[in-house]
Amino acid sequence: MNLFLNSHVAKQYGNRVKTDGVNQSNINGEKLINYPFPYCSLGEQKQIVAILDERLSEIDRTERDIQSQLQKAESLRQSILKQAFSGKLVAQDPDDEPATELLKRIKNEKVGPETNAKVAK
């Protein structure tokens, strides 16, 4: 019953017949009697529940797999970033200036030529 009441068909019916109150919607007994519950034998109900349980278990496994893969992707991303900032992803050109010198030059360019002239004196 829980799975059915959360189904699209049941929600549509509930939204169509509900009476909205201030803080809560209401479906009275008369409207509940007319709820479109599917009637089937106990054997059919057991088959339906077994199928739904199997599908829900598959969904749970898939969600766990996705979470695991997301964690692996984040770890890989961090590893790649660490290697990139360590200069280990590509071969380094010995003719390139060291990063510390590049950062000093960028800082001096931001400060401006007037300040650089004062610092040089």
Each residue of 49-103: pLDDT tens digit?
A: 999 999 999 999 999 999 999 999 999 999 999 988 877 877 778 888 887 888 8
- Does the predicted model carry a pTM greater than 0.95? no
How many other CB atoms sit within 10 Å of the CB of residue 18?
A: 14
Q: What percent of the chain has pLDDT over 90?
A: 33
Contact 83, 89 (CB under 8 A): yes
Question: How many helical (H) and strand (E) elements, i.e. helices and strands, does the chain have?
Answer: 6, 2
